[in-house]
Structure 1
């Protein structure tokens, strides 16, 4: 079965930016108004198949999902080649800014990180093939459709890929709560890959060793850590601040 995504905004984003990846859209008849009606009209103009169902029970949807009466089935997700990430930076005339994720297993965190990366203008995301969340309907929903805006590369060996990036003149920066320097003390205006570790364990030692430098996010309150999605977003936007808003 094709991969399902759901919700008005994620599907509108796919219709605007990646309609070729949609196989079919299924609509609840009782929700056929407003933005759902816009989805139907846009899909028909693009020549995409649309089914309007009185009995709306599309398969492949988690029972807790809020579909808003609209589901799209996608072709198999097309992970990007690494070169596509570099090409995105070159087309914009910018220093590469990538986000690499080390065993992020929570789809909610992955979706949030993708959304933040797109909002920050990052050029691509790198995720491991094993022991990590991949692109699912939940990830697309949480990202509010941002998945359709950024190339996502999947690798079998994150450590080796980070070495390859270093050979191509990118600096590798790891987020680590125990680091001696903070993200605000480092010069981030350079070709850069941020590496964010898993929700519970942080960066694996083997990945930490690949980093050119480690940085912490300083906290003055009683808590000593942030979740992966928030930490990654802060690092990305501090990079953007240093590059463009000094």
Structure 2
């Protein structure tokens, strides 16, 4: 049921030593049980994310007795610069950059849409992003294995780097900038989509020269991020 979990101190330590790049997050019972401090120290040394959680959360995972679990990625991450290079040679030279999209279903659906159109990959932040686990993989219908996924620490600095690499950056907003129906798209490009609750954060948005919105003639306030992303990607495809 939890095929992407490693349970218990010894198995988690082994995973940290052997394949730390495959660990998405280490969950530790709060307050920290005696004997688990070395695991947290090792996470810090290896720059692996960890989180202190209530006992009930670990109970749901079947890790109540151990007090610790590691959530594994089901997707191999790629280097950002390699992903940028691959994008310039893609059939549809577009990357998605997701600012705190936390629903695995949305992440997977966006990956499926992008892969179907010939896009190159997705950039996500290390923190506050949907896990690359079974939920995202199922929603992507396997597409997450066909595109590149890069995980970065700071999205704002990443956009600065992407801009210097010669990419055109477009951000989907509620009502700013051009209508997506009137926008001219130039490639290679990055489409920035915001999270389900707050959208794109101000510090990220200000790095996006191209701001676009979807006109809502039917009276709706907004679309689900996966639906909005699919609509904009389809419009971008028409400019290829």
Task: With the length of structure 1 as denominator, give the TM-score of the two structures.
Answer: 0.66
What is the aligned partner in structure 1 of residue 191 from structure 2? 194
What is the aligned partner in structure 2 of residue 116 from structure 1? 113
Alpha-carbon distance in 2 for matches of 1:180, 1:79? 33
- 8 Å CA contact 1:125, 1:151 repeated in 2: yes
- Structure 1 residue runs of 5 or longer lacking an equivalent are 5-20, 22-60, 63-73
Cα shift readout 1:149-175 (whole Å, capped 9, x = no counterpart):
100000011110010000011111100
- Structure 2 residue runs of 5 or longer lacking an equivalent are 6-21, 23-59, 62-71
- 8 Å CA contact 2:73, 2:133 repeated in 1: no
Higher relative contact order (CA 8 A, sep 6+): 1
Cα shift readout 1:4-47 (whole Å, capped 9, x = no counterpart):
8xxxxxxxxxxxxxxxx9xxxxxxxxxxxxxxxxxxxxxxxxxx
Write out the 4+ residue segments of structure 1 that deviate beyond 4 Å after TM superposition. Answer: none
CA RMSD in angstroms comes to 2.3
Q: Secondary structure at the match of 2:227?
A: helix
Task: With the length of structure 2 as denominator, give the TM-score of the two structures.
Answer: 0.68
What is the aligned partner in structure 1 of residue 78 from structure 2? 80
Alignment of 1:54-203 (within 5 A): 77-92=75-90, 96-203=93-200
Q: Report the CA distance between 1:90 and its aligned residue.
A: 4.4
- 8 Å CA contact 1:86, 1:96 repeated in 2: no
- 8 Å CA contact 2:177, 2:210 repeated in 1: no
Cα shift readout 1:54-107 (whole Å, capped 9, x = no counterpart):
xxxxxxx99xxxxxxxxxxx8863211113323423444x57311000000111
Q: 1:76 to 1:145 in 2, by over 3 A?
A: closer
